[in-house]
Structure 1
Amino acid sequence: MSTPSVDDALLDERALSKLRWRCRRGLLENDLFIERFFARHASTLTARQAEALGLLMDLSDNDLLDLLLGRRSPEGPLAHDDVVAVLGLLRAARSVVH
């Protein structure tokens, strides 16, 4: 059995806490997507997914919302498989009902 790479390692509590803080947004709509995403996936997030999420968090609130709502598709560095996968998880979290 092979050892998982560092990128596939689960985030520890400190890294998860820092990521949650970094993901705070100015638009309520974005915060709702992100809150539901963390409710569903926090315990299974990997370093690779955290890095991809960080790239999405570098966007302006409106650009992020356009991606979350499917108004736009990821382009350039955001068209990377990891970013697209995390975006899919964020979009799927929209359907989570509390």
Structure 2
Amino acid sequence: MDINRLRWACRRGMLEVDLVLLPFLENEYASLPDAQKVLFERLLECEDQDLFSWFLKKSDPEDPEIKEIVAIVNSKTGLKVE
């Protein structure tokens, strides 16, 4: 997927999710290996409520690959949740 389509896909219905996805896309996506880029694109297919819960570390994705990319996004966004 090209960067403009990804940018559009990162714009969600929840501002809180936008504030995680868009900076990650702009600052980290380009440096990911191709396999992780594919995982990020899969992550963008998930529901906003799930993303919100995962980014706030209230739950974990069942899919281990999605769990991997969520961990990467969380580690790179600077979002600190206890």
Shared fold (TM-score, shorter chain, > 0.5):
yes
Name the SS for the 1:49 alignment partner: helix
Find the structure with the greater CA-based Rg: 1
Runs of 4+ in 1 over 6 A off after TM superposition: none
Q: Distance in 1 between matches of 2:10 and 2:19?
A: 11
Partner of 1:70: 57
Aligned length in residues: 79
Q: Normalising to structure 2: TM-score of the pair?
A: 0.75
Partner of 1:48: 35
Q: Normalising to structure 1: TM-score of the pair?
A: 0.65
5+ unaligned residues in a row in structure 1: which ranges?
1-13
5+ unaligned residues in a row in structure 2: which ranges?
none
**1:21-45 deviations in whole A, cap 9, x for unaligned?**
2222110000000122123213313
Work out the percentage of aligned pairs sharing the same amino acid: 27
